[in-house]
A and B are shown apart, each in its own frame.
Chain A
Amino acid sequence: MKLLLKIWRQKDAKSPGKMVEYPIDGVEGDMSFLEMLDVLNMQLVEKGEDPVVFDHDCREGICGSCSLMINGEPHGPDRLITTCQLHMRKFSDGDTIVIEPFRATAFPVIKDLMVDRSSFDRIQQAGGYISVNTSGNTVDANAIPIEKEAADDAFNAAACIGCGACVAACKNASAMLFTSAKVSQFALLPQGRVEATERVLNMVRQMDLEGFGNCTNTGACEIECPKGISLENIARMNREYLMAATKG
């Protein structure tokens, strides 16, 4: 397969970037998108050029680091997968593929396609945990019976891998889906209720401080999320937040 790649190249956070064209040949349908980029990088290195920097780690859809905007969609045209799970058979010979970093003011570009998503870490640190004594006499989590539906919903929310596709897809660069998944996974369980009020207030405050946009319910995040995190989580967070705010 012969392709024309148009890739965003940017030296560092301060420099302006631009699209650069790279023709590539010999791409196999069985290659993952990242393997295709590996091939390109090998060719660039051989030519003595700077390889394209992109984030990746697990390459099996778990870590959430492979953040690429492919032809205008985060993680490419497929649903419920990450970029590392996208296969080149999705493209045809002669295609042009536009590859950009996830763009948001709160995700500054580090280099080329790699962005700094530590804003997500700071939201998580603001309340995405429960305080439990781990001195050895911790109560077994299973000692508290939990309704199946709540357990399932909490588990589904916990499936969020923090990839940032929701932010990348959103026309407002809003981080509501991510934050609401992190709020929900605790809000649904008795262990998480203890700190529920401060949690939602603090996490939303941090989310706003990081400069993410305001949610206008377009639903793009839900469609592009590789883990199928649902908009119900955002409604739950809005509810939690309103309840917490009226409590003072």
Chain B
Amino acid sequence: MSGFASSSIARKVVMALSGLFLVLFLLLHVTINFTSVVSPDTFNTMSHFMGYNGIVQFIMQPILIAGVIVHFVMGFVLEVRNSKARAVKYVQYKGSANAPWVSRNMIISGLVILAFLGLHFYDFWVHEIAYKYVEANPQDPTRYYAETVEKFEPFWRTAIYVVSFVLLALHLWHGFASSFQSMGLNNKYSPGIRNFTRLYAIVVPLLFIFIALYHHFNPITH
């Protein structure tokens, strides 16, 4: 087993599984976010549940953070190892002749997403921790909607949000379908799976973008 854990194929599978886990999480996230457009009350209820439920907070949240860390760390490990596998670079290398840009630049889209996650953590997660545990504020199940909408008021934050989700779409475009190949699935169903994953790669980030723009252009009037 020790040989297995350090093999190139095991690394591939770790990338694929952690990626698929994050893909699933995105679906949950976008669903909750979307309620903020249709029903602020539902959004408040769901956000409050996510913020105070013990299982979500102390089991699922750490698993999610671990998933993100594993995916990013492994991504960097792969990048470094792959760069070493061609120590002397080509003078001329025509990557575009045989592979799409997205598949060759997962590290770029990945780094943008990582930077975005930094901002996202600062905006929401750090804020929540401070609110709940440092300032020890009392529970307020109605605060989430207004806090969220307010975040999208500045143009710069909405712009960063939009750009990051475009990069996420590119990342998913290659990564989601690719994870099935990594786990050994390539058969007559693969074209169908690929179409589904590409649809997902467009629709989910677009929804996130739509929600951000919606709140940016429909601020709460005080």
Contacts and interface: CB of A to CB of B under 8 A. Distances in A.
A219 B190 CA distance: 14
A73 B103 contact: no
A154 interface: no
Given A72-B92, A232-B186, A103 B7 contact: no
Interface residues of chain A: helix, strand, loop or mixed (majority): mixed
Nearest to A222: B98
A214 B78 contact: yes
B190 to A, nearest CB: 8
B94 A217 contact: no
B90 A171 contact: no
Nearest to B177: A217
Contacts, number: 142
Given A19-B91, A242-B184, A73 B85 contact: no
B11 to A, nearest CB: 6
Contacts of A241: 7, 9
Contacts of B6: 208
Contacts of B89: 103
A213 B84 CA distance: 8
Contacts of A172: 78, 82, 85-86
B14 to A, nearest CB: 11
A220 B185 contact: no
A214 to B, nearest CB: 5
A234 B92 contact: no
A108 to B, nearest CB: 9
B91 to A, nearest CB: 6
A117 B220 CA distance: 66
B103 A217 contact: yes
A51 interface: no
B39 to A, nearest CB: 40
A104 B81 CA distance: 12
Contact of A8 (B82, B91, B106): B91
Contact of A73 (B91, B97, B174): B97
B101 to A, nearest CB: 10
A245 B106 contact: no
Contacts of A223: 97-99
Nearest to B9: A241
Nearest to A235: B186
A216 interface: yes
Given A204-B7, A219-B103, A239-B184, A174 B94 contact: no
A48 interface: no
Question: 3 nearest interchain CB pairs?
Answer: A72-B94, A239-B184, A213-B85
Given A169-B98, A171-B104, A217-B103, 9 more contacts: A71-B92, A105-B84, A173-B86, A211-B84, A214-B8, A214-B78, A214-B85, A220-B98, A237-B184
